[in-house]
Amino acid sequence: MLQMTRRRAWKAIGIAGALTRLAAEPDRSQPVSAKHALDDLLAGNARFKAGQPLHPRRRPEDFRATAAAQFPQAVIITCSDSRVAPEVLFDVGVGDVFIIRIAGNIIAGAGVTIKGSIEYAVAELNVPLIMVLGHSNCGAVKSAVQHLNDNDALPGSINGLVNLVKPAVAASKNQPGDPLSNAIRQNVILGVNFLSDFGPIIAPKVKSGSVKIVGGVYDLQTGSVALV
Ligand SMILES: [Zn+2]
C-alpha cells in the first residue's frame, strides 16, 4: 500500500517535472500557432493567479540564448499601469512577448509609433498572436468616462490622450451595468476591431488566418485575464 502510494507520488512528481521543463524550455526558434501562443499565455496567467508561477526564462543562460535573435510568440498592447506587467501576470520570460504599453492601451487613435511597433512584430518577427489587454479600474478610461461631456480641459497632453479613449466611452454609453467596466471592455473591442482591418501588413494576415487578434481584460483584484 505504502509502495503504491510512493509510486503514485513519484509518478505525479514526474509529470509535474515534465510540465515544468516544457514550460521552462521551449524551442523559441520554431514557429508556433496563434492557438498555441494563446494557450501558453492563459496557462501562465492561471499559474500567476494561483500563486504558483514558474518564472521561466529569466536566468543568464536564457537571456544570452536570445541575444542574437528574438522569437516572441505574441504582441501584447496594454496599459502603462504599474499593476499590469505582462511578463509577470502571464508568467513568461525574456524573449516571449513583444510588449507595447501606452496609457489606456490606445490603438486606433495612436500614431505611427504604436501602430508601426505592432506591424514590426507581425512583419519582421512573424508573431502569430496579437492581444489587446485592458484592465479593471483603468485611470485613462476612468478619466474619459468622467470628462466625456465636460468642457474643462485636462492639463498638458493628458487631455489629448483621454480624448482618444472617449470613442469607447461613447460606444458603451447605453450598455447595462457598470459604465467604467463597459468602457474598458469596449476600448479593448475597438482596438481588436481596428487592428483586424488595419493596413497592408496585419489585415491580410488576419484574413488568411496566419495572425489571430484577441482582446482581454485583466482584473486587478483576482489576477485573472478574461478574454472578451
Ligand atoms: Zn490603465
Residue ranges of the domains in the chain?
32-227
Low-confidence ranges of the chain (pLDDT < 70): 1-27, 151
Q: How many Å lie between the centroid of ligand 1 and the Cα of residue 140? A: 6
Q: Residue type for 176, please?
A: P
Instruction: Say if CB 106 and CB 133 are below 8 A apart.
Output: no
pLDDT for 75 equals: 98
pLDDT for 11 equals: 47
pLDDT for 123 equals: 98
pLDDT for 153 equals: 85
Q: What is the DSSP letter of 223?
A: -
Q: How many Å lie between the centroid of ligand 1 and the Cα of residue 53? A: 24
Q: How many Å lie between the centroid of ligand 1 and the Cα of residue 39? A: 24
Is 32-227 a domain of CATH 3.40.50.970? Answer: no
Collapse the DSSP code of 178 into the 3-class scheme (helix H, G, I; strand E, B; otherwise coil) and give the result.
coil
Q: How many Å lie between the centroid of ligand 1 and the Cα of residue 130? A: 18
Q: Tally the C-alpha atoms within 13 A of residue 165's C-alpha that lie toward its C-beta.
A: 29
Contacts of 224 (CB under 8 A, 6+ apart): 45, 49, 218
Q: Tally the C-alpha atoms within 13 A of residue 11's C-alpha that lie toward its C-beta.
A: 6
Instruction: Say if CB 132 and CB 196 are below 8 A apart.
Output: no
Contacts of 20 (CB under 8 A, 6+ apart): 54
Alpha-carbon gap, residue 112 to 118, rounded angstroms: 10
Q: How many Å lie between the centroid of ligand 1 and the Cα of residue 192? A: 17
pLDDT for 13 equals: 41
Q: How many Å lie between the centroid of ligand 1 and the Cα of residue 145? A: 13
